[in-house]
Chains A and B, each alone.
Chain A
Amino acid sequence: MSRIMVGVMITAVIVAVLPLFLILGSLIVKGASSLSISFFTNTPVPAGEDGGGVRHAIVGTLLIVGMASLVGVPLGIAAGIYTTEFKGSRLATITRFVADVLNGTPSIVVGVFAWTVVVVTQGHFSALAGSAALAVLMLPMVMRTTEELLNLVPITLREAALALGYSRWRTSLTIVLRTALPGIVTGVLLSVARIAGETAPLLFTALGSQFLSYNVDRPMAALPLMVYTYATGPFEEWHRLAWSAALVLIVVVLVLSVIARVVTRQRFGRNV
């Protein structure tokens, strides 16, 4: 009986992990061949011609995700501190519930929301609208991670600081938050990785572009958008670029996740 169960488990694990390796494998096989220096430094060439790169999309993703993080991370951490500090309050309970609902909201819905609020109001697509959508997606993730990690800090540590004459806010920020910080950084990195790969919320906000642009008030390219456009486009050359862009995207996400793991290990491997 035990043997059968072990067999079932192993099969399940293989089935679960297999897609990841298949995806990585096919990305490397089909995408790596087009990778070159010019792939990273060039912008697209007219359709049908050979060559061209994804510099505009890399810059776009960095800008859009960067701006989203600038809003989503501090707000999320602040909200997480609030819901931990005022655990029993009605507002904290409501906030927690809303965050959970938001966490489960399909990202395209958030995209539609940003479209109504930003794009329609402004009258044009923009990178800012994309960042707004991603920030909304990021906020509940960061908030919930922050909250969970703050709750892991032993209450005795908080009391020790209070007993030493620390005020409540100083205890929260310099002792509790500081102690939980490595874990929170991990959570933030993981949520950055998550939103960096989001396509749906950008479709009708940042829209995408064929040109290198730093103007955040205008449409802008992003890696996932580029993969989407190129993969569904009619040209053979576009398909190759889409594979390579997808490979770059997944490597970026993997690197962020690995950094997150390393940060966590440094924190929890030593003590606790």
Chain B
Amino acid sequence: MSDATVHLRTDQLSAMYGKFSAIKNVTLEFPVNKVHALIGPSGCGKSTFLRTLNRLHEMTPGAWITGTVELDGQDVYAPAVSPIKLRRRVGMVFQKPTPFPTMSIFDNVAAGLRIHRKLPRTELAEIVERSLQRAALWDEVKDRLKTSATALSGGQQQRLCLARTIAPEPEVILLDEPTASLDPQGTQRIEELMHELKTDFTIVIVTHNMQQAARVSDTTSFFYLGDMVEHGPTKAMFTRPKEPQTEAYITGRFG
């Protein structure tokens, strides 16, 4: 708990939908300013695990957890913790781009900022510009900030969502298969961004794509049927997996 380099950790975390356990007794640590990949076949629980970290899991009817999730030593499921404040510290980008269709590009990026505090207009504009630059989207949209966000391409929309997520300066960014609906170019841009963003944020990414996990992450966890089978430095896991299931998965024998 005193280890300042560990930002986020889970202890014996299980997540349930009614009686079904999507993940079982997962204990994991995520050090700061690193990219962590969660891999595994469909239905292995990696997305559910991600959604427990910002308490989005509990928004599904019938969903509940046992065990703990700690952010900076504080149990995020403690009764005193507001999930709304937590989600300000733990941002999330989804598989499909989710720009708010009724808002302009500018308003999309400002959306998270506006609900948390009232900012002077100039300061708001600065943060929006900075966030769009960090998401490598500024040059493409700076002349049409007032137009609808739905007119952007899929890849642009996803970078817009990334800008919207980083604008309120969260500490952790959760990415749930952020490139699954993008073309190779869009995917490459998001991957490049992850290298830059990890200097400021702790990143946890769920991915189906093992090459992607190998390219972008520092540590990797392999999930299978709700169990966290193996966890370790990405390079080691992809060259010398300890568990036979991990080896079978990363060499493409199943999943």
Spell out A's residues near B (CB within 8 Å). 88, 154, 156-157, 159-167, 170, 175, 178-179, 181, 270-272
Contacts and interface: CB of A to CB of B under 8 A. Distances in A.
Given A164-B91, A271-B101, A159 B59 contact: yes
Contacts of B150: 270-271
B182 to A, nearest CB: 15
Contacts of A162: 56, 59, 87
B198 to A, nearest CB: 20
A266 to B, nearest CB: 12
Interface string B149-173: 0110000000001001100100000
Top 8 A-B residue pairs of the complex, sorted by shortest distance between their CB atoms? A160-B98, A163-B92, A165-B88, A164-B112, A271-B150, A165-B87, A178-B102, A156-B98
B54 A161 contact: no
Contacts of A164: 87, 91, 111-112, 115, 164-165, 168
Given A88-B61, A160-B161, A165 B115 contact: yes
Nearest to B94: A156
Nearest to B150: A271
A272 B150 CA distance: 9
A165 B168 contact: yes
B130 interface: no
Contacts of A165: 84-85, 87-88, 112, 115-116, 168
B96 interface: yes
Nearest to A177: B102
A31 B58 CA distance: 62
A165 B90 CA distance: 9
Nearest to A271: B150
A179 B101 contact: yes
A272 to B, nearest CB: 8
A170 B115 contact: yes
A222 to B, nearest CB: 37
A271 B101 CA distance: 9
Nearest to B167: A164
A160 B51 CA distance: 12
Interface of B: 54, 56, 59, 61, 84-85, 87-88, 91-92, 94-96, 98, 100-102, 111-112, 115-116, 148, 150-151, 161, 164-165, 168, 174
A159 to B, nearest CB: 6
Given A162-B56, A164-B111, A165-B116, A157 B100 contact: yes
Contacts, number: 66
Given A154-B96, A163-B92, A164-B91, 9 more contacts: A159-B56, A159-B94, A160-B94, A162-B59, A165-B115, A167-B84, A175-B102, A178-B102, A272-B101
Contact of A163 (B56, B85, B100, B116): B56
Nearest to A178: B102
A170 B111 CA distance: 12
A162 B98 CA distance: 12
Nearest to A156: B98
A67 B168 CA distance: 44
A162 B60 CA distance: 12
A4 B30 CA distance: 69
A174 to B, nearest CB: 9
19 contacts: A154-B96, A156-B94, A157-B100, A159-B98, A160-B100, A160-B161, A161-B100, A162-B59, A163-B54, A163-B56, A163-B91, A164-B115, A165-B84, A165-B168, A166-B84, A175-B102, A179-B102, A271-B151, A272-B101
B171 to A, nearest CB: 13
Nearest to B54: A163
Contacts of B98: 154, 156-157, 159-160
A161 B115 CA distance: 11
A178 B115 CA distance: 16
A212 B159 CA distance: 61
A167 B84 CA distance: 6
Contacts of A88: 61
Contacts of B87: 162-165
Nearest to B83: A162
A159 B161 CA distance: 13
A175 B168 CA distance: 18
Contacts of A271: 101, 148, 150-151
Contacts of B61: 88
Contacts of B92: 160, 163
Contacts of B95: 156
Contacts of A170: 115
Contacts of B168: 164-165
B147 to A, nearest CB: 12
A162 B57 CA distance: 11
Contacts of B174: 163
